[in-house]
Structure 1
Amino acid sequence: MVDAMAKADSFAPNAVASRSGNPADAIAISPANADVLGKYRAIAIRGIHTPAQHPVWIEGWVEATAPQAFVATFSENRHPVFAIALEVVKTGPCHTARLLGGRHANGNFAPVDPSWLAAAGEKPFRALPAAIARSLPGVDILALERLAPAHGGCPNPLLALPHTRSPNISLAVDLSGGFEQYMARPNGKRKRKKHRSDERKFEAAGGFRRYEAGSESEVKALLDAFFEMKAARFRKAGIPNVFAEPEVQNFFRRLFTKSLSHSPKPFSLQGLEVGGSLRAMTASSRTSDRLICEFGAIADDEPSNASPGEFLFYENIRETAEQGLPLYDFSVGDEPYKRGWCDIETVHYDVIVPLSMKGRLYAAWLRMLATLKLGVKNSPMIWRFAKAIRRRTLGQSEGKPSVESD
């Protein structure tokens, strides 16, 4: 997948595609202008969706990146019941319609009215690719990546389309019995001991403060520090920096600032300062049943005898349980520091549907690439070897494991 801010040629929907003889039951393909985004927001408020389809996310991405964006809206008897916001980007030789946010959008589940979905079946969703192809004839492929299998007790209706398993699984912590019950597990005693030890070290280093950004200035300070810390980590690991583009950074500043006016905040930032210096931070999103770690980072000069990243996760997970949420979700990516906490694995799925002959060839390549990635990541030995090669060829040094979600 291409995550650079590659702009497509100008694309404007030119039709409304009906899926039945009744014009009141139609898939409307519309530019993502203010009026359409207002209707999207109304569907999202009434229905269910995951964070990367929250109106704050969708509106923020459109404002910050000015994409070639459109919204496909399903209606029943002229009543909107489902919406999906997409953008057209140039990926390799093709124009691709993808979810807004690209690689940054994970665990995706588009806004839908659950009562309508229960009786709708798969047929309306199978009509989506053809509707996009008719309305946007220059688009070669529809790529909906990292789709959550279910949300809010409903299966993901977009999995009615051809799909394959995503290379990256999602890991989560089961907190349904509360934090104390979770810590009663075999590794709980070790975690408590390490947490108390780190706390003493932080106190000796000048004290510590764990906080959540509550103002625009705190949002800016935490994100500016994150962008610097993450850039250094990515360089060492030989990983392309998906946060490097100014448009992407501007988006995240807007996202977390706009969330400050919501209660509860759909997106929030947590920081850990030791001796007055930021040592670790996490960015979180929230749904009705979980707090999700979208991304995070630790200072590059982390003291070898303390673990600010682990300390912050401990506090985040404890607070999640205290708020009555049954899950703390580390999002996509399989890393040892996540395995130390998690007991739930969730497989995400990728929908790849070609809309042109060129798209057919590119779709075959994408499926082959996804299969190769899945095989590599399912073999610990091969995956360790691949990361070592990546560090040696693109990175500077091995470094310490970063706090990241992908």
Structure 2
Amino acid sequence: MLSTETINTLIFNSFDEIETVWRSFEESSDNTAFQNFDWLKHWYDSVGVASGCRACLVVVEYPVGQPVMLLPLGIEKRQGVNCLVWLGGAVSDYHGPLLSPQLSENFTQDFFQKAWQAIQVSLPAYDAILFEKMPKDIGAQLNPFVSLSCIPTASNAHFTYLGTQFDGFLKAKRSSKSISTEKRKHRRLQEYGQVEFVIASDSKQIKRFLADMIAQKVRSYMEMGVANLFESKEVCDFFNVLSAQAIPLGFVHLSALMLDDRIIATHWGLVYKKRFYHLYPTYEQSELTKYAPGGLLMWHLFEWCIDNGIEIYDFTIGDEPYKDQWCDQELKLYDYYQGKTVLGLCYAWAFKTSRLLKRKIKHTPALWKVAQSVRAFLGKIRH
């Protein structure tokens, strides 16, 4: 019978201290690309430290010397409240732990609850827990953190299995009429010049494609009236440094659709454990928009993934309608808010209430349509 006394909890405050343990555990663990060591270390060095976040990297061992769970946590101050959060912030679509593949076989939910209480005692003091965008499943097992008193995240994630043949994948997902319409748009695009799918491979291409991706994404944020992720210098540094270092390793995938020497669409994503993460698709707003250059680039990405043995194409978080055309799998995401002090209780309640309201609006078509219109209008006023 397992007991909390048999668990060994180790707390590390720097990535350098935990690197060897993390990399070794990550190789066989169930986790997403957003818990990759390099991803989170670059985020922490670029964004986390600048925001005053303090790393609390937890390794849970059972028995001693045998890691079964790794929690990339941090404590950051928000409006004077010390909050326990998953590291990775806004750039990470999935937050959560790295799990031993055998974890669910050896640990019951009741045991996890007791173990989680023991872990919290080992952590530095904080006022509130703000855990967001936690996937229900991690690898082949249930994420133990969704057994807490969670609420659904405002949006879910979507993915699809690719198969082994590109043509077969297209026919399985789209009607013959739809495929013909898209191919006709692609032919019309070729009337303007040579159309080419290019994957960034050298420093010059990386800098150019990334600059265009960010510029096109910023324009999109402005049009929608949403927060501009790239307004932060630290976030831009994160993308620049990670791209330069991780593209040669195959972890970051940066591509563009070129019309002669003109970039008309881009995509920045991740490749990890036979899964492609579709993260930042963009396109140039021009007379060519009606020919769907972003859609053509996505077709090229599907084909590249299939040719390179990628099994899953993950569109990640967001319930955009176009994802329904390609995805037959939904990954539910959850948030957990819990106060530990009087101040933290008030802060966690406010967060939870706002997230419940956001989900209500997003899942009520009439309200969501109004919210999108108001948001876009306010965005135009601000810019």
TM-score by length of 2: 0.89
Kept in 2, the 8 Å contact 1:27–1:72? The answer is yes
Q: In structure 1, what is the equivalent of residue 252 of structure 2?
A: 267
Kept in 2, the 8 Å contact 1:175–1:325? The answer is yes
What pairs up with 1:107-126 in 2 under 5 angstroms? 107-122=94-109, 123-124=111-112, 126=114
Kept in 2, the 8 Å contact 1:283–1:296? The answer is yes
Structure 1 residues 35 and 125, CA gap change in structure 2 (3 angstroms): farther
Structural RMSD (CA): 2.4
Distance in structure 2 (CA, Å) of the matches to 1:40 and 1:301: 46
Q: Are 1:225 and 2:212 matched, yes or no?
A: yes
Secondary structure, aligned partner of 1:325:
coil
Kept in 2, the 8 Å contact 1:237–1:396? The answer is no
Q: In structure 1, what is the equivalent of residue 16 of structure 2?
A: 34
Q: In structure 1, what is the equivalent of residue 223 of structure 2?
A: 236
Q: In structure 2, what is the equivalent of residue 59 of structure 1?
A: 41
Q: Are 1:79 and 2:61 matched, yes or no?
A: no
Kept in 1, the 8 Å contact 2:94–2:133? The answer is yes
The AA in structure 1 aligned to 2:290 is N
1:332 to 317, 323, 344: 317
The AA in structure 1 aligned to 2:29 is G
Q: In structure 2, what is the equivalent of residue 69 of structure 1?
A: 55
Distance in structure 1 (CA, Å) of the matches to 2:164 and 2:253: 24
Point out the structure with the larger helix share: 2
Q: In structure 1, what is the equivalent of residue 191 of structure 2?
A: 204
Q: In structure 2, what is the equivalent of residue 193 of structure 1?
A: 180
Q: In structure 2, what is the equivalent of residue 161 of structure 1?
A: 148
Q: CA deviation at 1:52?
A: 0.6
Q: CA deviation at 1:196?
A: 2.5
Deviations 1:77-131 (A, max 9, x none): 2222211112322333422222222122113342222124420223245533653
Q: Are 1:382 and 2:367 matched, yes or no?
A: yes
What pairs up with 1:250-399 in 2 under 5 angstroms? 250-262=237-249, 265-301=250-286, 303-395=288-380
Q: Are 1:44 and 2:30 matched, yes or no?
A: no
Kept in 2, the 8 Å contact 1:166–1:350? The answer is yes
Kept in 2, the 8 Å contact 1:27–1:73? The answer is yes
Q: In structure 2, what is the equivalent of residue 180 of structure 1?
A: 167
Structure 1 residues 129 and 257, CA gap change in structure 2 (3 angstroms): farther
Kept in 1, the 8 Å contact 2:216–2:282? The answer is yes
The AA in structure 2 aligned to 1:273 is M
With 175-184 and 142-151 compared, the bigger mean Cα shift is at: 175-184
Structure 1 residues 191 and 260, CA gap change in structure 2 (3 angstroms): same
Secondary structure, aligned partner of 1:395:
helix
Structure 1 residues 355 and 134, CA gap change in structure 2 (3 angstroms): farther
Secondary structure, aligned partner of 2:153:
strand
Secondary structure, aligned partner of 1:364:
helix
Q: How many residues align?
A: 375
Kept in 1, the 8 Å contact 2:59–2:67? The answer is yes
Distance in structure 2 (CA, Å) of the matches to 1:133 and 1:395: 48
Distance in structure 1 (CA, Å) of the matches to 2:30 and 2:206: 27
Give unpaired runs (5+ residues) of structure 2. none
TM-score by length of 1: 0.85
Kept in 2, the 8 Å contact 1:94–1:358? The answer is yes
Kept in 2, the 8 Å contact 1:208–1:276? The answer is no
Give unpaired runs (5+ residues) of structure 1. 1-18, 398-406
Structure 1 residues 181 and 200, CA gap change in structure 2 (3 angstroms): closer
Q: CA deviation at 1:309?
A: 0.6
